[in-house]
A and B are shown apart, each in its own frame.
Chain A
Amino acid sequence: MPSPRYWREVPTRFRLEAGRCTACGKVVYPARRVCPACRSETFEPVVLSPRGTVVTSTVIHAAPPEFQMEAPYAMAIIETPEGARFMVQVTDCEPGEVEPGAEVALEFRRIRKEGKSGILCYGHKAVPAR
């Protein structure tokens, strides 16, 4: 990944910064220019709580090259208390136990490593809520 592209996404990936539409209250993560619910262009920043509920999930067995060493691993779409929904890997647990409805906490982790000469890419992964 070219480093400017990675750098642009730091507020989202490192700090969980989202936007809340001041017109309809929709929380979008990452922040956007136009609200997908009401097309307003006015947002206030909101930092997401580092926890959520699993909406749906899977266990990846056939993984992309960068993730092959980690397979099998669980992935989930989670919803935070603010109503933001997004995709995360769920780790530090048996992958088969990540079911819809499960409570998870978000932790800052290394997400991927781009070969021998690429940059290390960070972000959030989920772990079972304790």
Chain B
Amino acid sequence: MRDVAIVAAGMTPFGELWHHSLRDLFVEAALEALRAARVDTVDSIYVGNMAGGQFVGQEHLGPLMADHLGMRGVPSTRVESACASGGVALRSAFFEVASGLSDLVLAVGVEKMNDGGDVTGVLATAADQELEAYHGITFPGLYAMIARAHMAAHGTTLEDLAAVSVKNHGHGALNPKAQFQNRVTLEQVMASAPVAEPLRLLHCSPVSDGAAAVLLCPLARAREFTDRPVKIRASAMATSSMALADRHDPSMLDAVTLAGARAYQMAGLGPADIDVAEVHDCFSIAEICALEALCFVDTGKGGAAARTGETALGGRLPVNTSGGLKAKGHPVGATGIAQAIEIVEQLRGEAGDRQVADAAIGLTQNMGGSGGSAVVHIFERV
């Protein structure tokens, strides 16, 4: 297997982008990445997208996007793993380059959620239709059940949950591409409208439009395209039960635990080696569980991390310096690639006000559904 590097990135702002269609978003992010590397074509394209068919009635995104990028003829495939679609697109591109089959592969995540679709209903298709959605559960509802189980098992508090949102909004305020660039207070989070108890509106990531693109090539060729390549040290994935009820312990994200362990093994690294991480905080509780699953804190101790400042910029391990899904926004299929872009910027020293000093190793964790699929990547400055 060859070593693989990310040599360029492109990303639209995230938000309610009423003037942009699904294809517009894709093309904007992809062109930015191609121009940064000064290339006009690629060997292959992977499109990470959760639900174009439901949000905007458009499937068959592979050829559509290749066509609109002026690349008819290039192989182009849409991959899906609910909210982890971006992560699996990156992983697919990684395989193709690592295997030696292709040299230049573009991985683009894209989602257009604000176009009139029933967002709650579409997102619920990432849950088990027959056992969960049928009975009236929502996505916030599933994570609320995870939160309540975590509170009951480990004494995690409402303040612990709210502190995650406060921290991530604080980081988002420093990110010009974030959907929300405003800070929020603990009191504002705890007084926001209830969505699914114990989760409130400001515990939930927003409904977003956006796209993010990265260009991959063999590490041996990376200097042809950039002075600051970022090596992909590990790409790992795992699955768990589709239905939350079938998890041994609903307060644990066991697919994340498994994907994390595989990524650490592939990289030959451990949690103490990570300088900066982007984790999948679709809801505040998810960041707490992810920190535990990735062994950044002990099981049951994730609640204190944001409250004590440990995971804020300047803390022991800055987490979600981009603002996370909470503040940066969560166009579901784009998220896995956008997380990788934040880490690429951190490792290149290009993160501006959000820069983590001397960041050399970074990690991303992206997941689908209530944790039925999880993807973890580890990156290194070279």
Question: Is A53's beta carbon under 8 Å from chain B?
Answer: no
Expressed in whole angstroms, the Cα–Cα distance for A58 and B118 within the complex equals: 22
Expressed in whole angstroms, the Cα–Cα distance for A70 and B148 within the complex equals: 22
Q: Is the CB of B136 within 8 A of A56?
A: no
Expressed in whole angstroms, the Cα–Cα distance for A46 and B144 within the complex equals: 31
User: A66 to nearest B CB, angstroms?
Assistant: 7
Main SS of chain A's interface residues?
Answer: strand
User: A104 to nearest B CB, angstroms?
Assistant: 14
Expressed in whole angstroms, the Cα–Cα distance for A105 and B120 within the complex equals: 29
Question: Is A96's beta carbon under 8 Å from chain B?
Answer: yes
A30-B197 contact, Cβ under 8 Å, with A66-B136, A75-B136, A112-B136: no
Interface centre among B130, B136, B144, by most chain A C-beta atoms within 10 angstroms, is B136
Q: Is the CB of A77 within 8 A of B120?
A: no
Interface size in chain B (residues, C-beta < 8 A): 35
Q: Is the CB of A58 within 8 A of B246?
A: no
Question: Is B121's beta carbon under 8 Å from chain A?
Answer: yes
Interface size in chain A (residues, C-beta < 8 A): 33
Expressed in whole angstroms, the Cα–Cα distance for A77 and B241 within the complex equals: 14
Interface centre among A59, A65, A67, by most chain B C-beta atoms within 10 angstroms, is A59
What chain A residues lie within 8 Å of B144 (beta carbons)?
A: 58
List residues of B (188-203) whose CB comes within 8 Å of A's CBs: 193-199
Report A1-35 CB contacts with B as 1/0, cut-off 8 Å: 00000000100000000000000000000100000
The 3 closest A-B pairs by CB, nearest first: A58-B144, A56-B149, A59-B197
Q: A30-B131, A100-B149 are in contact. List 14 more A-B contacts (CB 8 A).
A: A56-B145, A58-B145, A61-B196, A61-B197, A62-B196, A64-B120, A64-B138, A67-B136, A72-B194, A75-B136, A76-B145, A85-B246, A87-B132, A112-B134
